[in-house]
Amino acid sequence: MKFTVPIGPQHPALKEPISLRMTLEGEVIRDADIRLGYNHRGLEKLAEEKTWLQNIYVTERICGICSHSHATCYTQGVEKLMEIEPPKRGIYLRFLVAELERVHSHLLWLGVAGHEAGFDTFFMYTWRDREVVMDILEMVSGNRVHYAINTLGGVRRDIDDLQKKKILDSLDFLRRRSEFYFKIGANEPSFVARIAGVGRLSKEDALALCAVGPTARASDISQDVRKDDPYGMYAEVPFEVATATSCDVLGRVVVRVKELMQSYNIIEFLLKNLPDGPVAVRAPRRAKPNEVVSRYEAPRGENIHYIKSNGTDKPERLKVRAPTLANYPATVVMLRNGFIADIPLIFAAIDPCICCAERAVVLVDGRSGEEKIVLMSELRKQAHERWKKAPLKKDAVWPF
Partner 1 sequence: MRIAAFLPEILRHLFKKPATVDYPFQKLEVPKDFRGTPFLHPELCIVCRACVRDCPAEAIDILTVNEADKKFKMVIHNDRCIHCAQCVESCPTAPKALEMDHLFEIAAFSRWDLKKEWEYVKAQVKPKAAAGTPSAEAKS
**Binder to partner 1 among 21, 30, 35, 157 (CB under 8 A)?**
157
Verify binding: residue 55, partner 1, rule CB under 8 A: yes
Verify binding: residue 184, partner 1, rule CB under 8 A: yes
**Binder to partner 1 among 19, 69, 151, 223 (CB under 8 A)?**
151
Verify binding: residue 131, partner 1, rule CB under 8 A: yes
Amino acid in position 351: D
Are 283 and 84 spatial neighbours (Cβ–Cβ below 8 Å)? Answer: yes
- Of 154 and 323, nearer to partner 1 (C-beta) is 154
Verify binding: residue 368, partner 1, rule CB under 8 A: no
- Of 49 and 172, nearer to partner 1 (C-beta) is 49
- In whole angstroms, how close is the CB of 119 to partner 1 at the nearest point? 8
Q: How many residues bind partner 1 (CB under 8 A)?
A: 30
Span near partner 1 by CB under 8 A; candidates 151-159, 223-231, 299-307, 331-339:
151-159
Span near partner 1 by CB under 8 A; candidates 185-193, 214-222, 254-262, 344-352:
185-193
Span near partner 1 by CB under 8 A; candidates 123-131, 316-324, 347-355, 375-383:
123-131
Contact code string over 68-107 relative to partner 1, x by CB under 8 A: ----------------------------------------
**Binder to partner 1 among 92, 122, 264, 269 (CB under 8 A)?**
122
- In whole angstroms, how close is the CB of 335 to partner 1 at the nearest point? 29
- How far is residue 52's CA from residue 284's CA, in Å, rounded to a whole number? 10
- In whole angstroms, how close is the CB of 147 to partner 1 at the nearest point? 10
Verify binding: residue 54, partner 1, rule CB under 8 A: yes
3-class SS letters over the chain: CCEEEEECCCCCCCCCCCEEEEEEECCEEEEEEEECCCCCCCHHHHHHHCCHHHHHHHHHCCCCCCHHHHHHHHHHHHHHHHCCCCCHHHHHHHHHHHHHHHHHHHHHHHHHHHHHCCCHHHHHHHHHHHHHHHHHHHHHHCCCCCCCCEECCEECCCCCHHHHHHHHHHHHHHHHHHHHHHHHHHHCHHHHHHHCCCCCCCHHHHHHCCCCHHHHHCCCCCCCHHHHCCCCCHHHCCCCCCCCCCCCHHHHHHHHHHHHHHHHHHHHHHHHCCCCCCCECCCCCCCCCEEEEEEEEECCEEEEEEEEECCCCCEEEEEEECHHHHHHHHHHHHHCCCEHHHHHHHHHHCCCCHHHHCCCCCEECCCCCCEECCCHHHHHHHHHHHHHHCCCCCCCCCCC
Maximum Cα–Cα distance across the chain: 76
- Of 160 and 370, nearer to partner 1 (C-beta) is 160
- In whole angstroms, how close is the CB of 181 to partner 1 at the nearest point? 10
Verify binding: residue 146, partner 1, rule CB under 8 A: yes
Span near partner 1 by CB under 8 A; candidates 7-15, 32-40, 48-56, 336-344:
48-56
Verify binding: residue 148, partner 1, rule CB under 8 A: yes
- Residues forming contacts to partner 1 in the complex (CB under 8 A) are 50-51, 53-58, 61, 121-122, 125, 128, 131, 138-139, 141-143, 146, 148, 151, 156-157, 180, 183-184, 187-189
